[in-house]
Amino acid sequence: MKKAILIMAISALAAGCADNSVPKAQLPELDLSNPLLAPWETPYATPPFSKIELKHYEPAFDAAIACSRAEVAAIVDNPKKPSFVNTIVALEQSGSLLSRIEGIFFNMLGAETSDQLQEISLRVQPKLTELENDISLNEKLFERVKAVYEHPGRLSQEERMLLEKTYKHFARNGAALSPEKKKLYRQYTTELSALTLKFGQNSLAATNAFTLHITDPKVVAELPGFVREGMAAEAASRGEKGWTVTLQYPSYLPFMTYSTNRELKEKLWRARSSECLGGKFDNTELIRRIVNTRLKIANLLGYKCYADYVLEERMAGDTKTVESFLNDLLVQTKSWADADYRTVSEYAASKGLKGELMPWDWPYYSTMYKDEKYALNDELVKPYFELEHVKKGVFLLANKLYGLNFTPNTKIDVYHPDVTAYDVTDRDGRFLAVLYLDFFPRASKTAGAWMTEFRGAKIVNGKETRPLVSLVMNFTKPTATTPSLLTFDEFNTFLHEFGHSLHGMLGKGHYESLTGTNVYRDFVELPSQIMENWATEKEYLDLWAVHYQTGEKIPAQIVDRIVAAQNYLAAYLHVRQLSFGFTDMAWHTLTEPFGEDVEQFEVRAMAPTQVLPVVEGTATSPSFGHIFSGGYAAGYYGYKWAEVLDADAFSLFKEKGIFNEEVAESFRKNILEKGGTEHPMDLYVRFRGHKPDSRALIERMGLGK
């Protein structure tokens, strides 16, 4: 699943508290031998990763938290009348040192974690939650914010948006509660932060704990060479002989796709589909506590359910709109998804499968059918998607659309040898951002793919600070004899996450909290998902996709097959994605405390979307990090919401030309550069000329034709 983890940004300022109005006597003395606290004499003030050790984090957090408290105290104690500058802007610019440390720490927690780092996170998280509560529940501070909100004076559009966002943040985080209810709010939010953190740690541990080790050459003899090599490399990395499959997607999926061994595939599928459902890393009790705590918070703030609370600050607007949206898409596509299942099931039976087509059979037979119908498979396509070529192709697309250039910079410190840093410049040579690329799976990295920022864009005292953006993925590793050759799905993922990075790198504005990807959650996927449309455009692929051994351009017939196959199983995959949205909404529209069986609850929630047979003893929820440890609670529908947006938006490129400069410039100025400075619907209509229409998505999937 795609993942877009948006970690808080760090500051480009020298170490120390950001607000110069804070009396020096009130500032904590900083230990400048700690690289997290010292000024960074590095290219573009990038993090000095090689100097940062585990021992530095906790002291740095403590010092930065003290800085943040001093900054907030200075705002509260300011004798001058509350104004936009001395209250709203001052609050926006406070906490820069803490944000710097959080940006590094929480990115490492996902991309390069360790037992020690996870232990630190468990100690640090309550302190951060306490600080957040102390700020959002500060009565005097809220009084100043409210005073400005009620008498704003003349403000620009960007300033009005910052003011509104700041006021709502306080109002939606307990500032208007009674003292008794504020105490409960503190308790619930502290509990919730610890619960969600533990959920994610359990999920990673469960993924790493399972392996399937094969020693019999006969079992792997039928597999394509690249699959055997990957399994052998995995085994060797663990000091094992033979072949090893893990639950990491680049290892798991190829075996499920090409092996005929139903027994082993069922074992693998059940292991992956029952992660954290019981056992050592059980997340079911955590789910109960998370959803019940979220419900308590929502009720405390005056909402019937958690989804009502979340969706008030989303493009969709409310629970009813989301439920109608999901149901409408399901009605239009469910029969087509069922037809997809029947097609593959009948095909499997024709190939000798006895009994019902089960979920662990699906990758093999759906791929075999695709190979026969479209003469297209991973082995045929992968040689033309060698990672270095794909990277050049992705960079080329950014250049043709937006004039961007990417230059490797070996002087920039990176956090792992696999990571590469790039200077990103505009067509006129102006520096825009640093881009970090981290491609391959490792035990210390969370599964999935995501974009994050170490620092966002902002302008302070007339000086512009540009972003530091990172893309973290889990692509097929190179072997001793073969470079990293991506599947078409992995290529799609690269384009998707790169779209997020464009949103971050091209962001403009004075206030970091409003730039780049700091937008409504159901809007943030538009810049990423629209990029996937180019993956099947012949005009684009012809520019760079060549065979990694021969240099031969990708043949026209292969491109034609890719285009012809792009809607293969589109309805099934669409409904599968809807099923996650239905499940998310079921958990977060609860109006009474949950005490039921997690597995059975999920079965009921997914029932309207069920296509493949239900298998007892499996469930998605216990490892559904997006909604239980990420930022997508009551928001997973946003992927489909944004898919409607991207289908409608890309239709303009199709009409005018996929590299049309005028359309690209409009998308850059109205979507990518604007961030959260205006309401997303206003931005979208300004680009497209009308509100999004779901018919574009249905037509793109080829349904009804």
pLDDT tens digits for range 40-97: 999 999 999 999 999 999 999 999 999 999 999 999 999 999 999 999 999 999 999 9
* Residue 556 is assigned to a structural domain of this protein: no
Residue 87 sits in the same domain as residue 218 = no
Domain span at 250: 210-273
Residue 167 sits in the same domain as residue 230 = no
* Residue 427 is assigned to a structural domain of this protein: yes
Within 10 Å of residue 211's Cβ, how many Cβ atoms?
16
Residue 512 sits in the same domain as residue 451 = yes
Residue 91 sits in the same domain as residue 167 = yes
Residue 30 sits in the same domain as residue 143 = yes
If one counts the domains in the chain, the total is: 3
705 band by pLDDT with thresholds 50, 70 and 90: low
Residue 214 sits in the same domain as residue 171 = no
- Tell whether the model's pLDDT for residue 1 goes beyond 80: no
The closest of 53, 55, 31, 35 to 45, measured between CA atoms, is 35
Residue 36 sits in the same domain as residue 150 = yes
Q: What are the tokens at 244?
A: 């090893």
What integer pLDDT is reported at residue 10 of this predicted model? 27
23 band by pLDDT with thresholds 50, 70 and 90: low
Final residue belonging to a domain, choices 273, 300, 327? 273
* Residue 679 is assigned to a structural domain of this protein: yes
Torsion, Cα of 511, 196, 313, 171 (10° steps): -80
* Residue 298 is assigned to a structural domain of this protein: no
73: exposed, middle or buried (Cβ count in 10 Å: 0-12, 13-18, 19+): middle
Q: How far is CA 36 from CA 103, 410, 557, 597, in A?
A: 11, 21, 54, 45
H-run or E-run covering 186? helix 179-209
487-524 per-position pLDDT tens digit: 999 999 999 999 999 999 999 999 999 999 999 988 99
| C-alpha–C-alpha distance, residues 643 and 525, integer Å | 8
Alpha helices in 506-569 (DSSP H): 526-529, 538-541, 556-565
* CATH code where residue 145 lies: 1.10.1370.40
Final residue belonging to a domain, choices 176, 194, 222? 176
Residue 79 sits in the same domain as residue 222 = no
Residue at 337: amino acid letter? A
Positions marked catalytic? 497
Residue 247 sits in the same domain as residue 390 = no
* Residue 185 is assigned to a structural domain of this protein: no
* Residue 183 is assigned to a structural domain of this protein: no
What integer pLDDT is reported at residue 17 of this predicted model? 58
- Tell whether the model's pLDDT for residue 7 goes beyond 90: no
* Site of tokens 């104004």: 83
* Site of tokens 């056992």: 279
| C-alpha–C-alpha distance, residues 146 and 122, integer Å | 34
* Residue 250 is assigned to a structural domain of this protein: yes
Residue 261 sits in the same domain as residue 410 = no
What integer pLDDT is reported at residue 378 of this predicted model? 85
Please check whether residue 614 is in contact with residue 273, taking contact to mean a CB–CB distance below 8 angstroms.
no
Please check whether residue 7 is in contact with residue 23, taking contact to mean a CB–CB distance below 8 angstroms.
no
Question: What is the arithmetic mean of pLDDT over 695-701?
Answer: 88
What integer pLDDT is reported at residue 24 of this predicted model? 53
Residue 480 sits in the same domain as residue 532 = yes
Question: What is the arithmetic mean of pLDDT over 619-628?
Answer: 96
CB-facing half-sphere around the CA of 194: CA atoms within 13 A:
14
Residue 659 sits in the same domain as residue 512 = yes
Within 10 Å of residue 704's Cβ, how many Cβ atoms?
10
22 band by pLDDT with thresholds 50, 70 and 90: low
* Residue 348 is assigned to a structural domain of this protein: no
